Amino acid sequence: MNKEEVYERLNNVFRDVFDDESIVVKPETTSKDIEDWDSLEHINLIVAVENEFGIKFNMGEVTTMKNVEEMVDIILSRVG
């Protein structure tokens, strides 16, 4: 799986979780850029991403991820 593919699938997950078809995720996207992305919604997003890619984040990653790029790096390192 390459980076573009990950971003494309991630985009769908974000749109689905936040119920907003206009979202376009970029490497530098953070929780500040998406209105509904608060600590409560964060975990829903994490679980949705896990299901989409068939991977598991550990709790440390869940709490320390800073932006979408870091999330993509972790996904790529898991799915190979």
Partner 1 sequence: MNLTSLVFALFCIITICIYFIVPKKIQWVILLISSLVFLLYDGSLPLNIIKFLLILVPTYFCGLLIEKNKENKKAKIYLTIGIMLIVGQLFYFKYANFFINTINLFLEKFNSENLINNIETNSLIGISYFSLIMISYLVDIYNGICKPQKNPFKCALFMTYFPILTSGPFIRYKDVEEDLYGKHKFDLNRLCNGLMRILWGLFKILVISERCGMFVDTVYGNLDKYFGTFIIVAAGLFTLQLYTNFSGSIDIIMGISEIFGIKLPENFTAPFFSRTITEFWRNWHITLGAWLRDYIFYPVLKSDSMQKFSADLKKRFSKKAVKKITLYVSMLVMWIIIGIWHGGNYTFIIGSGLLQFIFMVLEDLLEPLSNKINKKLGINKETFSYRLYQRIRTFILFSFSMIFFRAKTVEEALTIIFNILVWNPWVLLDNNTLFTAGLDIYEFRVLIISIVILFVVDKLSRTGSVREKLSKQNIVFRWTVTYLLIFGIIIFGCYGSGYNPAEFIYRQF
Distance set, CA 76 to CA 12, 20, 27, 37 (Å): 17, 25, 13, 23
Q: Is residue 47 within 8 Å of 59, Cβ to Cβ?
A: no
Among the listed ranges 4-12, 27-35, 60-68, 72-80, the one in contact with partner 1 (CB under 8 A) is 60-68
Which of residues 26 and 63 has its CB atom nearest to partner 1 in the complex? 63
Under 8 Å between Cβ of 30 and 67: yes
- Mark the segment that binds partner 1 (CB under 8 A) among 1-9, 26-34, 52-60, 69-77: 52-60
By CB under 8 A, name the binding residues for partner 1: 39-40, 42-44, 46-47, 58-64
